[in-house]
Each structure stands twice: as C-alpha cells, then as structure tokens.
C-alpha cells in the first residue's frame, strides 16, 4: 500500500480472528489488496502465537481450533506434531494458510490510530523503513487481539521490589530462572505451565492466585462450562462493561500432566499476597516469602488504544459490541472481542462479520 492509499475495508491484525474474516470476505468474492487490506504488526505469520515461549506445546493450553478452510491444505491442529514448540507449528500453518488463500498480508505494520476525516475512516500506521502512512477506508475490522495489552494488577510496594518482574508476554524460557526464587501469580493455564516448567529449575517456587483454582476433571473444556463463559463475555460486550476472564467461567481442565503436578504438590496455590517488599512478598497472615522473580501470569486486555480517537468506549469501561459490530459506530467491527476470543468464536465471528460488511458495501 502507498502512503496515501484508499481501500474499502481495512483489517487490523492477522491472528485467528483477522484471518477468519479475510477468508470469508474472499468467499464473497472480495479481492485482497483491492477490496480489503490486512495489516499485521508481527514480523511473521502466527499472530500472538509467534511470541509465545519455546516450551509451550499444543495441547498444554486451551485447544487451538482450525481456521475456516484449513482442511483444503490438508492441515489440522488436531493432528499437528505436539513435540514441536506451539509457536513454530502455528506460525507455519498460518503462513501456509495466508499463501494458499492469497491473503496478501502487509507486515510488519503497526496501526497507531484510527480517526475520522469527513465521511472516511483514516488508519494511521507505521512500518520499519517506511515511516508513518495513512490509509482511508469505509469500514474497519479490528482484530488486534490482546497480546499487546498485558494486564498487571497493582499491589502495594510493587515499585520497591529489587528483583525482576515480568509478565507472561515477556517469558522466554525456564532456564532464565535457574537457581532463583520465583513467585508465579495467576490462576490460568499460563501460570500452571510456568510452574510445571520451573519445578526442577527454580531454587524455590511459590504460586499465588487471586481466586481459588477451579479444577475441572476433564482434559477438554465441557460444552456447558464453555458456553456459560462465552455467554458471560457476550453479555459484558453488549452492555459495554470490561470483559470477564474466560478461565473464571470455564475452570481449568485437569490433564494427566496437571494431575501429576497436583499430586506432587507443585500446583498448590496460596491466596494472594497483600503487599510486595524489596526482597519478596508479604501474606495476609503476616508471613513473608523471599523472591528474586515475580512472574505475572495475569492475563491481557483487548488492545484497542488505537481506536481511542473514535470514542467508542462506554461509561462502564468497555466497548458496546454485538455480533462483532460496534453499536457506537456501525463502520467498526471487532473480531476476536469478547465471546469471539476463542478459536471457535473467531471462526463463527469471521463469517458473521463478513456477511455484515458485504451488506454495507
């Protein structure tokens, strides 16, 4: 795209949600590069998965569902090699998907702002070596996900901690914490994965969670629990409230690996500490645990800062979204937001959003 380009539709993000929308737009005979352009800030295909840590394997977190049309390539995550890093598998499969369907993803491009200029939407972006540029569009699909907006809750004394603090997004390998005293914070699959990886690496390992862990004794999420979690996300999105945690609604499936960790005692969470001190954390009962590292596996928030000029945020703190469409501005669609955040939800939302877009053109 040139620095002064115009296109009917801009899609921001080429993760599972953005690719699903692009696929369905093609099924409606819209042409990539002419009718829509797909911007992605990542250096490669794979969405947020390309940034995940090397020790993560498929099947150790919530299931990764196939993208629509992926069977045409003879690919499925259900039969993928689980000995390879998940990030390598997803990156390879997404790259082959983009090439097969000729989606012409433009990367690396970081969208910095979306704003109005008369009747048009203007998408301001930046890319290495090319600087800032603007693209005008009639409609925008935001599929930027959450990876770029890590959430770390505030705790008294955090700024005084003399050790290392990092979020899930900054975790690279267990070996980085060899011989160190580590506190892992969080109640989801990332926290559990870190604990299992660090069990025989860290000098000491402590797990803290803001809520009791809801163990679900099945290796896959039950349909009823998953449906309830999606319904809670949908209700929050439609009312413009901040989105609840998916794990708080589904619980954590107990795989054989997790069950073994529970039995060994490594997966035993303490209620959250009350404050952080320079050399560790202080608990509600007054006891103290020394720490060299605090890993915040506390999730992410939707990355929508670039949409701020459009003033879409509701008084309740979230965006008002139904069926993937903004109820504040009908030109804006949010793929992968709220109930669409799962890979199943992204598949369904891609089709729903594409149909609405075609009806508006």
Sequential DSSP letters for 240-254: TBPPPPHHHHH-EE-
- C-alpha to C-alpha distance for 338 and 231, rounded to whole angstroms: 9
Query: Is pLDDT at 62 greater than 70 in this prediction?
Result: no
What pLDDT score was predicted for residue 182? 98
Contact 199, 261 (CB under 8 A): yes
The residue-averaged pLDDT of 217-227 equals 51
| Mean pLDDT to the nearest integer, 239-247 | 54
The one-character DSSP state at 95 is H
Q: Does residue 104 come out as left (phi exceeding 0), alpha (psi in the -120 to 50 range) or beta? A: left
- pTM of the full structure: 0.85
Instruction: Please tell me the predicted confidence (pLDDT) of residue 2.
Output: 45
Give residue 256's pLDDT.
Answer: 87
The 10s digit of each residue's pLDDT in 80-113 is 999 999 999 999 999 999 999 999 999 999 999 9
Q: Which of 84, 43, 80, 83 is nearest to 64 (CA)?
A: 80
Residue 284 CB: number of other CB atoms within 10 A? 11
């Amino acid at each position: 795209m040139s620095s002064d380009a115009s296109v009917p539709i801009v899609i921001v993000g080429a993760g599972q949600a953005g690719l699903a929308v692009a696929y369905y737009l093609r099924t409606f005979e819209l042409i990539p590069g002419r009718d829509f352009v797909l911007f992605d800030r990542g250096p490669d295909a794979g969405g947020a998965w390309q940034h995940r840590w090397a020790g993560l394997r498929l099947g150790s977190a919530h299931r990764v569902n196939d993208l629509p049309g992926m069977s045409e390539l003879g690919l499925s995550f259900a039969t993928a090699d689980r000995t390879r890093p998940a990030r390598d598998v997803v990156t390879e499969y997404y790259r082959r998907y983009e090439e097969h369907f000729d989606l012409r993803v433009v990367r690396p491009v970081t969208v910095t702002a979306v704003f109005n200029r008369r009747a048009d939407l203007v998408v301001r972006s930046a890319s290495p070596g090319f600087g800032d540029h603007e693209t005008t569009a009639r409609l925008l699909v935001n599929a930027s996900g959450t990876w770029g907006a890590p959430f770390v809750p505030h705790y008294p004394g955090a700024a005084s901690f003399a050790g290392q603090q990092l979020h899930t997004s900054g975790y690279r390998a267990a070996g980085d914490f060899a011989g160190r005293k580590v506190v892992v914070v969080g109640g989801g699959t990332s926290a559990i994965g870190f604990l299992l990886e660090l069990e025989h690496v860290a000098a000491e390992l402590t797990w803290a969670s803001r809520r009791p862990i809801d163990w679900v004794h099945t290796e896959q999420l039950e349909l009823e629990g998953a449906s309830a979690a999606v319904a809670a996300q949908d209700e929050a999105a439609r009312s413009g409230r901040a989105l609840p945690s998916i794990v708080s609604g589904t619980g954590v499936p107990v795989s054989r690996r997790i069950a073994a960790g529970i039995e060994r005692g490594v997966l035993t969470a303490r209620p959250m500490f009350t404050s952080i001190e320079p050399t560790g954390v202080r608990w509600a009962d007054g006891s103290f645990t020394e720490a060299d590292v605090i890993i915040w596996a506390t999730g992410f928030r939707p990355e929508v800062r670039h949409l701020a000029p459009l003033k879409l945020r509701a008084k309740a703190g979230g965006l008002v979204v139904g069926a993937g469409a903004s109820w504040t501005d009908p030109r804006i669609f949010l793929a992968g937001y709220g109930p669409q955040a799962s890979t199943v939800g992204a598949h369904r939302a891609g089709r729903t959003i594409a149909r609405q877009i075609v009806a508006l053109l």
